[in-house]
Chains A and B, each alone.
Chain A
Amino acid sequence: MDFTLDSEQTALRDAVRGLLGKAYGSSETRREITKTDPGWDEKTWQRLAEMGALGLPFAEEDGGFGAGPVEVSIVAEEIGRVIAPEPYVEAIVLAGSLVAAAGTAEQRAEIIGALAEGQLVPAFAHTEPGSRYSESATGVTASGSGSDWTLTGVKEPVLGGARADVLVVSAAVDGGTGLFLVQGDAAGLTRTSYATFDGGRAAHVAFDGTPATPLGEAGVDQSAAIAQAIAAAQIAYGHEALGAMAFALETTTDYLKSRKQFGVPLMTFQALTFRAADMYVSLELARSTVTWATLVLLDGSDEADVLEAASRAKLQVSKAGRHIGKEAIQLHGGIGMTAEYSVGHYMSRLTAIDHALGDGRHHLAALSSALDGHDVVEPLP
């Protein structure tokens, strides 16, 4: 058991921090970039690719760099520190992992390499109107045989759905939920993009007899692969949130030191400093749980363990994110409410992460229904 980064991992963190710190050194840059489509910066994405950050989780024979969840977590956390709008978790950890897990050797060769080089950006089109956090697809249906398939139905909201070069789409097949690839320029594909409150983009994606290629074996149920990819993304989101929470707390403590009212810095008031202390408590509990979940994923010996760890991490992050986001604004007073200042954007991003891939209550419900499965919760194997 070891919760520390080795020297290579530390070097990776410093490199990513340097790159993103330069790209998003001022919150004004982020505001500018998120104003226009696709809501993130292609140049920064390219630099992340050149650094190797985009290929980290993928096998070398597929065109990746053969690193693992710890390296992914490092990048995600740095993304969170500056709330970089680049779709790292969405494109790499979620959509990319699905291709890596379910795709044929040929599909992997075609997609993973280009993804790692920043040449191709995928998105996972999964959520359907009214489906909430369901992991199966019912609204989009697939029909066909062999490699000849079409999709019909609607996915919404699809994060980054309009910019994506290729969509990984979940769809109802006879045996359950299958996965398909749809090219961005496919016939019968209509994508309507809109801005999301955290500066991102989501889309209404309509398929109308749209040609699609099965990802991996045709027409089979891919629920297990979907669940694992979602779990990996939930954990990576946890790290993104850790970065965001850490920064929000730092900004708040700095503000308590510098802002003066009644002739003294705000930190004179214990009513406020104790609340910053509570934010720290929340942050560290979340950090422990999320880091643990990453190690469970790294260990990877039991798929069910990964799902459970991801739920536990997501629940803890949901609680911590709400707590820290709200307090960061409150302890700032009016300035915290403004778009010009940073903490409001951090709260926005934390809110978006909370409601992606299952919010706290969703995961609490999952854990509640599984109480019978254990006497005590043991973190170590």
Chain B
Amino acid sequence: MRLQLSDEDVAFRDEMREFFTTKIPQHIRDTVAARRELSKEQIVESMQVMNAAGIAVPNWPVEWGGKDWTPLQRHIWHEEMQLAGVMPPLAFNASMVGPVIAAFGSQELKERFLPQTANLDIWWSQGFSEPDAGSDLASLRTTAVREGDEYVVNGQKTWTTLGQYGDWIFTLVRTDPEAKKQAGISFLLIDMTSPGLTVRPIELIDGGHEVNEVFFDNVRVPAENLVGEENKGWDYAKFLLGNERVGVAPVGSSKRTLAAAKEYAKTAGPGGSSLLDDPLLAAEIAELENDLLALELTALRVVANSADGKPHPASSVLKLQGTVLQQAVTELWVDLAGPDAVATGAGEGSNVPDLARTATTNYLNYRKASIYGGSNEVQRQIIAGTILGLRG
């Protein structure tokens, strides 16, 4: 055991820190720091700057632009990025469909999609969930029927994050209606400009538009867009969801947001006094810092011990506790904003500080974090069932 990073990893960390704090355009980092939504252009620009430096998709195979970094280095990359107020590469591209195509797609699909996916020239949407297939994803009903060289797709996906920007959507579709639930599912790539495909916005409780419904009405999809084998889609989806859960603990961004909250609190009291003089608030922040420390250390233990490629069992606490703390920090921000928390629509001429205006919309919005990507109930089931062996 040893506390220090190796010299090599220290150098790596410094290199990443330097990159993220100097190469990602300031306006993008400022938007993140202001806790406002990034535009499509900002998300694309941010990922393209990383891709130009060869560090947008380090988790991919090296021949497709990946890096043979250690899990610890990948962790450092991810942390430094968040600490610097940089949005991680678009997950749909970098951690979801990219690795699936790289692992299971034909050579033709790899060549056609991977470079553009890494550079966010193609914006991918995730078309898994359906109105009646949420936690029970395998009950999905969108069908793809083979007709000659094509699949004809009918059905509906929902909760499609940023589907309004999507060029392509990777979907799970039912190709064998007779087979048992999981066995009849395929992984199909669909061009979102196809005739018969429509995207309808869903407004969320913070008033924002980040999710959509996607309808498929006799959408014709070339059969070559099938990833891997027909009816093997569930295996690929499990691989994808596994990737989704690793490294998802947003420790760095929670640390940065908490540090910013502490800074804000220093002058947010009556007459510019410090709210940190309030022992209740100070205690709450100290506790959050300690909880984040415990989470970060768990993440470090996980990456330091998963060198053999198998995820450390404790990795399953990362998503669960990561979202709990992420949500706790957003809640703290509302408390700091106090009576100003109501002023989410304040504009020019208002005396309400900008960070108070965004506090409540962020709080409401981040209720999503414990629902998507495997809800916190699902995470507990994984811990109880897979790790503790408690299967009722």
A127→B360 contact, CB < 8 A: no
Residues of B within 8 A of A348 (CB): 205, 364
Q: Which of A129, A202, A329 contacts B342 (CB 8 A)?
A: A202
A197→B136 contact, CB < 8 A: no
Q: Does B350 contact A (CB under 8 A)?
A: yes
- Is the contact region of chain A dominated by helix, strand, or loop, or is it mixed? mixed
Using C-beta atoms within 8 Å of the partner chain, give the interface range for chain A.
35 or more
Q: Which positions 112-159 of chain A face chain B at CB distance < 8 Å?
A: 127, 129-134, 138, 154, 156-157, 159
* 0/1 string, A354-367, CB within 8 A of B gives 1: 01100101101100
Closest CB of chain B to A380's CB: distance in Å? Answer: 29
Q: Which positions 172-202 of chain A face chain B at CB distance < 8 Å?
A: 192, 194-198, 200, 202
Q: Which positions 142-179 of chain B face chain A at CB distance < 8 Å?
A: 158-159
B364→A347 contact, CB < 8 A: yes
Residues of A within 8 A of B134 (CB): 261, 333-334
Closest CB of chain B to A302's CB: distance in Å? Answer: 27
Residue among A194, A262, A352 with the highest chain B CB neighbour number at 10 A: A194
Q: Does A5 contact B (CB under 8 A)?
A: no
Residues of B within 8 A of A133 (CB): 338-339
* 0/1 string, B337-380, CB within 8 A of A gives 1: 11111111111011110000000110110011011100111001
Q: Given A157-B346, A197-B206, A272-B377, are A355 and B339 neighbors across the interface (CB < 8 Å)?
A: yes
**Complex CA–CA separation, A134 to B268 (angstroms):** 13
Q: Does A340 contact B (CB under 8 A)?
A: yes
B203→A330 contact, CB < 8 A: no
A200→B342 contact, CB < 8 A: yes
Q: Does A12 contact B (CB under 8 A)?
A: no
Q: Given A196-B343, A197-B364, are A340 and B350 neighbors across the interface (CB < 8 Å)?
A: no
Q: Does B204 contact A (CB under 8 A)?
A: yes
A204→B371 contact, CB < 8 A: no
Residues of A within 8 A of B204 (CB): 337-339, 344
**Complex CA–CA separation, A204 to B350 (angstroms):** 6
Q: Which of A269, A329, A359, A361 contacts B367 (CB 8 A)?
A: A329
Q: Does A326 contact B (CB under 8 A)?
A: yes
Residue of B nearest to A331 (CB): B377
A364→B280 contact, CB < 8 A: yes
Residues of B within 8 A of A273 (CB): none
Q: Given A196-B342, A339-B203, A365-B278, are A351 and B334 neighbors across the interface (CB < 8 Å)?
A: yes
Q: Does B309 contact A (CB under 8 A)?
A: no
Q: Which positions 152-170 of chain A face chain B at CB distance < 8 Å?
A: 154, 156-157, 159
A345→B205 contact, CB < 8 A: yes
Q: Does B389 contact A (CB under 8 A)?
A: no
Residues of B within 8 A of A198 (CB): 342
**Complex CA–CA separation, A260 to B130 (angstroms):** 13
Q: Which of A132, A156, A338, A364 contacts B269 (CB 8 A)?
A: A132
**Complex CA–CA separation, A104 to B298 (angstroms):** 66
Q: Given A198-B342, A271-B377, A344-B364, are A204 and B270 neighbors across the interface (CB < 8 Å)?
A: no
**Complex CA–CA separation, A348 to B342 (angstroms):** 10
Residues of B within 8 A of A261 (CB): 134-136, 139
**Complex CA–CA separation, A265 to B304 (angstroms):** 41
Q: Given A329-B367, A339-B207, A340-B202, are A359 and B338 neighbors across the interface (CB < 8 Å)?
A: yes
Q: Does B281 contact A (CB under 8 A)?
A: yes
B338→A355 contact, CB < 8 A: yes
Q: Does A4 contact B (CB under 8 A)?
A: no
Q: Which of B284, B346, B371 contacts A334 (CB 8 A)?
A: B371
Q: Which of A159, A262, A355, A356 contacts B136 (CB 8 A)?
A: A262
Closest CB of chain B to A222's CB: distance in Å? Answer: 19
Residue of A nearest to B203 (CB): A339
Q: Does B93 contact A (CB under 8 A)?
A: no
Q: Does B117 contact A (CB under 8 A)?
A: no
A330→B341 contact, CB < 8 A: no
A132→B278 contact, CB < 8 A: no
Residues of A within 8 A of B350 (CB): 156, 192, 194, 204
B334→A129 contact, CB < 8 A: no
**Complex CA–CA separation, A368 to B279 (angstroms):** 11
Q: Which positions 198-213 of chain B face chain A at CB distance < 8 Å?
A: 202-207, 211
Residues of A within 8 A of B272 (CB): 130
Closest CB of chain B to A188's CB: distance in Å? Answer: 16
B129→A355 contact, CB < 8 A: no
| A-B CB contact pairs (8 Å), 29 listed | A156-B343, A156-B351, A157-B343, A192-B350, A195-B345, A196-B344, A197-B342, A197-B364, A261-B135, A263-B139, A269-B377, A271-B380, A322-B331, A329-B205, A333-B371, A334-B368, A338-B202, A338-B204, A339-B205, A339-B207, A340-B202, A344-B205, A351-B360, A352-B342, A355-B337, A355-B339, A356-B339, A361-B278, A361-B284
- Known A-B contacts: A262-B139, A348-B364. Give 20 more (CB < 8 A): A130-B271, A133-B338, A133-B339, A138-B271, A157-B352, A159-B342, A192-B347, A263-B139, A329-B367, A330-B376, A333-B371, A334-B368, A334-B371, A336-B371, A337-B211, A340-B203, A352-B342, A359-B338, A361-B335, A364-B280
